[in-house]
A and B are shown apart, each in its own frame.
Chain A
Amino acid sequence: MDDVAIYAYQIGLSFAIFILISLGLAVIFGMMRVINLAQGEFLMLGAYFCTLITKAGVDLWISFFLAALAVGVFGMIVERVMIRYLYGRILDTLLATWGLSLFLVGGVTTIFGPQSESVAATLGQVTVGAFGISLYNLVVIAFALALLLGTYALWRYTRFGLVVRGTMQNPAMAAALGVNTGLVYTLTFGFGSAITGLAGAVLAPIVGAAPPMGVFFIGKAFITVISAGHLPLLGTISASGLYGVIDGVVAYISSSVIGEMTVLFVAIILLRLLPLGITGRMRRGI
Chain B
Amino acid sequence: MALRIVGLSPPSQPPRAWWWGFAALFAAFLLTMPIYFDIAVLFSVTNYLVLALLALSMSFLWGYGGMLSFGQTAFFGLGGYTYAVMALNLHETTGAMIVAIVLPMLFAAVLGYFMIYGRISDIYFSVITLVVTLILEKGIRATSGDQYVVGSVRLNGQNGIPTTPALQVPWNPKVQLEIDDVFYLAAILLVLTYVGLRLLLITRFGRILVSIRDNERRSALLGYDTRRYKLLAFVIAAGVAGLGGAMWGVWGNFVGPNMFNLGQAAQVVIWVIVGGKSTLIGPIGGTIAVQYLTDWLGTQGVGQVSLVLGIVLMVMVMLFQQGLLPSVGLIAAMARDALSGARRHRAPP
Contacts and interface: CB of A to CB of B under 8 A. Distances in A.
A103 B317 contact: no
Given A95-B317, A261-B135, A103 B311 contact: yes
B126 A99 contact: no
B317 A92 contact: yes
Interface in B206-263: 262-263
A257 B124 CA distance: 22
B307 A103 contact: yes
Interface string A202-220: 0000000000000100110
Interface of B: 68, 111, 114-115, 117-120, 122-124, 126-128, 130-132, 134-135, 138-139, 142, 262-263, 266, 269, 273, 303-318, 321
Interface string A253-276: 001010011001000110111010
B25 to A, nearest CB: 33
B313 A99 contact: yes
Contacts of B128: 226, 268, 271
B310 A215 contact: no
A35 B139 CA distance: 25
A5 interface: no
Contacts of B269: 95, 98
A222 B263 contact: no
Interface in A76-116: 82, 85-86, 90-92, 94-96, 98-107, 109-110
B131 A222 contact: yes
Contacts, number: 119
B138 A260 contact: yes
A76 B299 CA distance: 36
**Which of under 10, 10 to 19, 20 to 34, or 35 or more describes the interface residues of A?**
35 or more
A239 to B, nearest CB: 14
B111 A268 contact: yes
Interface in A221-236: 222-223, 226
Contacts of A260: 135, 138
Given A215-B134, A222-B130, A268-B114, A98 B266 contact: yes
Given A261-B139, A271-B124, A109 B304 contact: yes
A281 B61 CA distance: 32
Contacts of B119: 275
A74 to B, nearest CB: 15
B104 to A, nearest CB: 17
Contacts of B311: 99, 103
Given A257-B138, A268-B115, A106 B310 contact: yes
A100 B314 contact: yes
A37 B68 CA distance: 14
B114 A269 contact: yes
B314 A96 contact: yes
Contacts of B122: 91
Contacts of B266: 98-99, 102
B317 A99 contact: yes
B117 A102 contact: no
Contact of A103 (B130, B135, B314): B314
Nearest to B318: A96
Contacts of A85: 318
B134 A272 contact: no
B213 to A, nearest CB: 13
Given A96-B317, A99-B312, A222-B131, A110 B114 contact: no
Given A96-B317, A264-B132, A271-B114, A104 B273 contact: no
A222 B127 CA distance: 7
Contacts of B114: 268-269, 271-272
Given A95-B273, A268-B115, A102 B263 contact: yes
Contact of B120 (A92, A101, A275): A275
B317 A102 contact: no
A205 B241 CA distance: 40
Given A106-B305, A218-B134, A91 B123 contact: yes
16 contacts: A86-B317, A90-B123, A91-B122, A95-B313, A95-B317, A98-B269, A99-B317, A102-B263, A102-B266, A102-B306, A104-B310, A106-B306, A226-B127, A264-B135, A271-B128, A272-B118
B59 to A, nearest CB: 14
Contact of A102 (B131, B135, B307, B318): B307
A82 B131 CA distance: 24
A102 B111 CA distance: 27
Given A92-B317, A96-B313, A219 B131 contact: yes
